[in-house]
Structure 1
Amino acid sequence: MDQYCDGKSKKPPPPGKRRCRCSTTMLTMVLFAFTNSISALLSSGAGAFLLRRYKAESVRIWDWDDSAALLKDLNATQSALAASHAQLADLHVHLGTANSLLETLLAGMATRDGDGPAEQRDMWWDRELSWELKIAVGYHRNVTGDVFPAVGHACGRFQDDLERYMNYTPGGECPSDETLAHQLMLKGCDPLPRRRCRPRSPVAYVQPAPLPKSLWAIPPDTTVVWDAYRCKNYSCLLHGGGEFDLRGREKGRWMRDDGALAYSIDGVLAVRPNGTVRIGLDIGGVSGTFAVRMRERGVTVVTTSMNSGGPSGSLIASRGLMPVHVSLAHRLPFFDDTLDVVHWTPELGGRSVADVTLEFALFDIYRVLRPGGLFWLDHFVFSGEQLNATFAAMIDRVGFRRLRWNTGKKMVSALLERPMTYDRED
């Protein structure tokens, strides 16, 4: 006779109950296999897959009519388990990829901080860079130390300084720390990331003098916040002489040609038809006097300034001129083939610059000059060996044509032009 589901009773099941044709041992084995399968899935992290697939109320062993239904459900469970194992294997692949990326990131951080081999310290990339890009993003040694071109990652090399620079209250007042900003820019951390603060307004600000009076007027001290500078007023800067001396030295600059290193503006403009030199750039003009002289002759010149010796940008703007805050590590913010003239006087009396940094700058100047545009190198300082063996060849390699070339003791002045056409050397 058939044994009912309690394993002992011979009585027929109550109405509504179904008979179970499986033995207690079989049921125990099925439950054991089922619970072990679930445990394996849960321990492997794939339990969620089954929990999504099978709701609790759907698992009712007592509802199985026969072994075929049981087998069918077991097959479905095995299929789900196989799918879970495939999913787990895929997760292992992703985990391996993530671990590889993490190892690469940690290695990059180590090399960035100087813990890795020197040849790897510039490798912030997933693969070996092509030679030109590798040179462009690598560091170059300058008189100020290692310089990193402004391609977005250089700031990461100077985290302590950058964190000090970014230590301000968003929406509040910007700290007066021009010296720190200057140091970061010279290292290639440019453009600087400070965005959400306001510069402090000077107390008792005075409106600038009108043109043309403003071109030679010394602005009131109340037009600048002086906290960030060694000098605390314009009088201090003027007493220091140099390019801030608007009442003395600056009055005679570029007014005469001595036949050697000193060129006159009128002599330079004379090499082009009258009126064809209209717009230009002055690199390193601390006071803006070159732009003043050109403006007096109807030429509009933008002046780069780094605020290294004082508030150069404020002084230039007070004279009615346009200053731009650009370092040698920064690509010049002008379109190709646009400027009629570029004048370059090394800031603060002239300094030698690294070969690679200088070559980048010369190619960029070539880029922004229009065909036939003039490039005026004004009292550049070099060691004699560097001038003869490196710089002269570099000028020719960039593609400039020499209109005038004068050398002195460790110094050169030159008037160059970008040719109207460039003959490629095959």
Structure 2
Amino acid sequence: MEGELLGKKQLSPRNGRRWCRCSTTTVTLLLFLVTNTASILLSSGAGASVVRRYEPATVRLWDDSAALLADLNATRSALESSRVELAGLHARLGTATALLQTLLAEAARGGDGQRKEEAPASGNGWWARELVGELKLAVGNASDGEAALGHACGRFQDELERYMDYKPGGECPSDAALEHLLMRGGCEPLPRRRCRPQSPPGYAEPAPLPKSLWSMPPDTSVVWDAYHPCRNYSCMASRGLGLDLRGRREKGLWTRDDGALAYSVDTALAAKPKGTVRIGLDIGGGGGTFAARMRERGVTVVTATTNAGAPFGSFVASRGLVPLHVGQARRLPFFDGTLDVVHAGRELTSDWMVPGDGVAMEFALFDVYRVLRPGGLFWLDHFVFPGAQLNATYAPMLHRVGFKRLRWNAGRKPDGGVEKNEWYLSALLQKPMT
């Protein structure tokens, strides 16, 4: 009995202190959430404004239809403003809740407020097994060496080992499909390799500018990988992949404005003083036709593309344009506030963002906002989305990011879009000056 009492005397103070510390932390965090929520509501004035906006008004009789229409339009405007305001509050509350959950998880892992390192599944950090060969040399043994490639690469160790399986100093294997698989999985940046890429046999010099902008490059300008379904550009052009520079459709892109979804380059450039749109980015730009159209008007546009099923990078370069090999999950490799224009075509849907994935979409839009200079343009071109998500997801999201609308057009997508209720959205947006 005496030993039992002695044990209780030894354990109780420590357990009591831990219980008190955890309870105090939890209470503090809950108070933080409540205070933060109240601050948001009070600072925004949303609670009072919403209540004020919907106070019963004095019943009146309209003497004509014009007065009735004016009142209805005012009511519609008020409702729309309230919906956007509430959507913004919802997002801010969601951020506060996520922060609270993170802090609670930190408190649960380490009662003293210090984060404890989780034990790795193996003795080598986030890798399933010991690294060997070229992969080990490229990554390095030190923990800071793992920054040489993306953290998601740990989920693709088998594929990454195949990617790094080559003879040092020799020729790199033909593995465009493997490279694309890794990048789409978030394994980016890829590690450097000590091998030489294959050179195309019979390589010929490209055509000089400006002729090269609209000249089909010779088939010998690229190595045709087994990943590509064709072995020449004529075959690729016939598959409708935007590589047919002889066709009327490609040469007609962005040359006319139909007043609806199709914007012209000249219309977009007219939104800014002449000469102030100088450099930009085309996300998912395929064969580089948008960049070529802008190049004709003295604007330098980098085309972000991947070799998904076709040698898009080599094709863009053969036209005298700049291809940027970057995947959809990577932060845009530009300094803050540097670009005059960012164009995102319909490839944005299939290759860069997933409709309905609001989190990924919002991260991407904020990254676009980051790289644009104040007053810069964001041209959203034929973005495909489920019709119900325009007002429920994307319109409030673009408003929340901070873009100003210069032009906005939405319409149902033809060719099968009716059954799926798919719509197009084209918009010319602007990052505010302040």
CA distance in 1, matches of 2:345, 2:176: 22
Q: Could you state the TM-score of these two structures normalised by the residue count of structure 1?
A: 0.64
Q: Could you report, residue by residue, the CA deviation over 1:105-126 in whole angstroms, capped at 9, with x for unpaired residues?
A: 127999987xxxxxxxxxxxxx
Q: Provide the secondary structure at the position in 1 that maps to 2:208.
A: coil
2:293 is the alignment partner of 1:293: yes
> What residue in structure 2 maps to residue 232 of structure 1?
231
- 8 Å contact from structure 1 (residues 328, 357) kept in 2: no
The 5 A counterparts of 1:110-121 are none
Please state how far the C-alpha of 1:256 moved relative to its aligned partner. 0.7
- 8 Å contact from structure 2 (residues 215, 319) kept in 1: yes
Range that drifts further, 366-375 or 407-416: 407-416
The 5 A counterparts of 1:80-229 are 104-106=119-121, 152-228=150-226, 229=228
2:351 is the alignment partner of 1:338: no
CA distance in 1, matches of 2:385, 2:313: 27
Q: Which amino acid aligns with 1:395?
A: L
2:244 is the alignment partner of 1:245: yes
CA distance in 1, matches of 2:190, 2:330: 11
- 1:276–1:109: structure 2 CA closer, same or farther, 3 Å change rule? same
Please state how far the C-alpha of 1:239 moved relative to its aligned partner. 1.1
The 5 A counterparts of 1:265-280 are 265-280=265-280
Paired positions, count: 286
CA distance in 2, matches of 1:399, 1:108: 45
Q: Could you state the TM-score of these two structures normalised by the residue count of structure 2?
A: 0.62
CA distance in 2, matches of 1:417, 1:285: 20
Q: Could you report, residue by residue, the CA deviation over 1:370-422 in whole angstroms, capped at 9, with x for unpaired residues?
A: 0000000011111122222111111111111111111112221110000001x
Q: Which amino acid aligns with 1:220?
A: P
CA distance in 2, matches of 1:358, 1:179: 25
Q: Please give the root-mean-square deviation of Cα atoms over the aligned residues, in Å.
A: 2.4
Range that drifts further, 150-159 or 376-385: 150-159
2:379 aligned to which of 369, 376, 379: 376
Q: Provide the secondary structure at the position in 2 that maps to 1:225.
A: coil
Please state how far the C-alpha of 1:194 moved relative to its aligned partner. 3.7
Q: Which amino acid aligns with 2:220?
A: T
Q: Any unmatched runs of 5+ in structure 1?
A: 1-100, 114-149, 422-426
CA distance in 1, matches of 2:395, 2:311: 34
Please state how far the C-alpha of 1:260 moved relative to its aligned partner. 1.2
Range that drifts further, 259-268 or 241-250: 241-250
1:366 aligned to which of 362, 365, 369: 369
Q: Which amino acid aligns with 1:250?
A: E
Q: Any unmatched runs of 5+ in structure 2?
A: 1-115, 129-147, 413-422
CA distance in 2, matches of 1:158, 1:398: 33
Q: Which amino acid aligns with 1:418?
A: K
Q: Could you report, residue by residue, the CA deviation over 1:43-73 in whole angstroms, capped at 9, with x for unpaired residues?
A: xxxxxxxxxxxxxxxxxxxxxxxxxxxxxxx
CA distance in 1, matches of 2:118, 2:407: 56
- 1:211–1:158: structure 2 CA closer, same or farther, 3 Å change rule? same
> What residue in structure 1 maps to residue 431 of structure 2?
418
- Which structure features the higher share of helix residues? 2
Range that drifts further, 348-357 or 237-246: 348-357
- 1:320–1:103: structure 2 CA closer, same or farther, 3 Å change rule? closer
Please state how far the C-alpha of 1:227 moved relative to its aligned partner. 2.2
Please state how far the C-alpha of 1:309 moved relative to its aligned partner. 2.8
Q: Provide the secondary structure at the position in 1 that maps to 2:121.
A: helix
